[in-house]
Amino acid sequence: MITLYGLKNCSTCKKAMKWLDEQSLSYTFVDYRDHPIEGIQLKSWAQQLGGWPKLVNRASPTWRQLPEDKKTPATDEDWLQLIAEFPTLVRRPVTVDSQMVTVGFKPDLYAQRFA
């Protein structure tokens, strides 16, 4: 089972869902603004992806507008607090299945992953 986590108005999430629909792949979409992701899940994703910087989009407008003191989270708890306050910092979509966790959408990478 494929689960996409993101924001319903995110254009990248919409592209990922459209691609999955075109491939007749079933999935569940979870808007993490409406259904916040638990800290333990976020921490697990960050670990699987190779750290918080892989999960958090530091090139986003949200990140750039953060006060400088919030841009240096030191602990898992600091990262979790930051994401709880600014859920749009999480890269979109987060794609989860029984094999792996990935972030973002590129048609060629999805084609390889779900071939």
Q: Catalogue the active-site residues.
A: 10
Query: Residue 64, SS3?
Result: helix
Residues in the chain: 115
> Which single residue is written with the structure tokens 């979109």?
92
- Give yes or no for a contact between 60 and 88, defined as CB atoms under 8 angstroms apart: yes
Contacts of 115 (CB under 8 A, 6+ apart): none
Compute the radius of gyration of the chain from its Cα atoms: 14
